[in-house]
Amino acid sequence: MNVGGVQLVNGRVDYTDYLIKPSFSAALSELNGRLGTFSSGSREMATLELHGRIAGTGLLDIQGSLNPMADPLALDVGAKATELELAPLSPYAGKYAGYAIERGKLSMDVHYLVQPDGRLEAKNHVILNQLTFGDRIESPSATKLPVRLAVALLSDRHGVIDVNLPISGSINDPKFSVGGIIVQVIVSLITKIITAPFSWLAGGGGEDLSTIAFRPGTSVTAGNADAALDKVAKALQERPSLQMTVTGAADPASEDEAIRQALLEQRLNAQRRNEALRAGAAASAPEAMSPEEHERLLRAVYRDTDLPDKPRNIIGIAKDIPAPEMEAMLKKHMLVSEDTVRQLALQRGLAVRDALVAKGLPSERLFLAAPKLHASGEGDAAWSPRVQLSLAVK
């Protein structure tokens, strides 16, 4: 068979899907274009040009070449669809996502190439603008993934989702389905985002921004915590529909010695401040202690602390002992209760929340969770002092 060419003038295609309840209907209208010369028994492709409208709102533009009689199909076609209203697609969203669509627009730029051996290579550039889900719809086919959170993570500050979905496969495979592959790619993308949302916020580079490190026994951040909080604050400013929960954590077992050391340092600093006040010195930013000053303050704190096992001479006066022994005795008798550790975890959460607010993140989008006490031996060998961040949709 030889076809000298086909021209389409003001064509129309009416489409209805009765497998969706309620059924979905749409029309391709104002179709104008042409397909050039092609024939059976040859892979020579005809030029294709087609323009029209989708569902009365979206604009359709198809350019490329194909031969529908070639075996396998010969195809090299690009297509653009712009400003397609999403609300009419609500039956599909309800069935597969579990939510109706209130509003939004879709634009697509795709390119499909079929090689002579039947292999398909396709690029799908998808832009969703202001995709807004409505009421929850019970559907046995709906994914269990948190799609609203995924949409919030994918959207920028202007409510635009811009993703590329490449697919490939062989059209000679009886089980091959373009739609099925696209669904798999979308589910894989959503799973990746939901599984590691903070890695996605960091640009997908693997950096885990969900954990902010702290120095053991203190509420002072450690490592690159400030840089990580900068990235978190910027990412959430770009995604106004997200909220964050901040959970401080501490371990009463592995941090016991560090907590006692921190409490001792607090007492030394308090002794230092009291001495400065008694001397009439004006309040100023604390400077680092020299080893000599540290030992002097340590001896003063030791002298003023009533310890039941403090070494004494024969007439009951406290003996002068080496500084390491004084430090060990002071830390030994410090009260470190579960409430002490809980307060430490709480202060870590407050430190992160305040840092994010200082970086411009509105406080109404930040929630402080109850502090969490980590129990050593829970199988988390890599546990370290931290604050845990988690995300939710407004």
Each residue's pLDDT tens digit, 357-375 = 999 999 999 999 999 998 7
CA dist., res. 229 & res. 201, Å (int): 12
Residues 181 and 211 in one domain: no
Q: β-strands 242-250, 372-373: how paired?
A: parallel
pLDDT of residue 284: 59
pLDDT (tens place) for every residue of the chain, 394 residues total? 999 999 999 999 999 999 888 888 889 999 999 999 999 888 899 999 999 999 888 899 999 999 999 888 889 999 999 989 999 899 999 998 999 999 999 999 999 999 988 899 999 999 999 999 999 999 998 989 899 999 999 998 899 999 999 999 888 888 878 777 888 888 888 888 888 898 888 776 567 789 999 999 999 999 899 999 999 999 999 999 999 999 999 999 889 999 999 999 999 999 988 888 888 776 555 678 888 999 999 999 988 888 888 888 877 788 888 999 999 999 998 889 999 999 999 999 999 999 999 999 999 999 999 999 987 655 556 788 999 999 999 8
Domain boundary among 332, 349, 365: 332
Q: Look at residue 282 and tell me if it is in a domain.
A: no
Domain boundary among 163, 195, 227: 195
Cβ proximity of 52 and 28 under 8 Å: yes
Distances (CA, A) of 306 to 53, 299, 302, 334: 87, 13, 8, 11
Residues 226 and 305 in one domain: no
The range of the structural domain enclosing residue 92 comes to 2-195
With CA atoms as reference, report the closest residue to 368 among 353, 388, 356. 353
Residue with tokens 């069935």: 95
Residues 185 and 304 in one domain: no
Residues 270 and 366 in one domain: no
Supply 382's token pair.
């890599």
pLDDT of residue 328: 92
Cβ proximity of 372 and 247 under 8 Å: yes
With CA atoms as reference, report the closest residue to 322 among 306, 298, 340. 298
Residues 244 and 295 in one domain: no
Helix boundaries (H) for the chain: 90-96, 147-154, 178-195, 197-201, 225-237, 256-278, 291-304, 323-332, 338-358
Q: β-strands 211-213, 167-170: how paired?
A: unpaired
With CA atoms as reference, report the closest residue to 6 among 29, 34, 30. 34
Q: Which amino acid is at 161?
A: I
Residues 268 and 247 in one domain: no
Estimate to the nearest angstrom the gap between the alpha carbon of 332 and the chain centroid: 43
Residues 67 and 181 in one domain: yes
Query: What spatial distance separates the first Cα and last Cα of the chain, rounded to whole Å?
Result: 60
Quick check: pTM over 0.85? no
Q: Look at residue 72 and tell me if it is in a domain.
A: yes
Name residue 160's beta-bridge partners. 129
Cα angle for residues 130, 131, 136 (degrees, 5° grid): 140
Residues 319 and 358 in one domain: no
Q: How many other CB atoms are there within 10 angstroms of residue 142's CB atom? A: 17
Residues 374 and 309 in one domain: no
pLDDT in tens, 315-324: 778 888 899 9
Per-state percent for the chain, helix, strand, coil, to nearest 5: 30, 35, 35
pLDDT of residue 204: 63
With CA atoms as reference, report the closest residue to 257 among 350, 339, 372, 341. 341
Residue 53 — φ and ψ, nearest 5°? Answer: -125, 150
Residues 157 and 223 in one domain: no
Q: Exposed, middle or buried by CB within 10 Å (0-12, 13-18, 19+), for 231?
A: middle
Residues 304 and 325 in one domain: yes
Residues 179 and 148 in one domain: yes
Query: What's the domain count of the chain?
Result: 3
pLDDT of residue 282: 62
Q: Look at residue 26 and tell me if it is in a domain.
A: yes
Distances (CA, A) of 256 to 239, 249, 261, 272: 39, 14, 9, 25
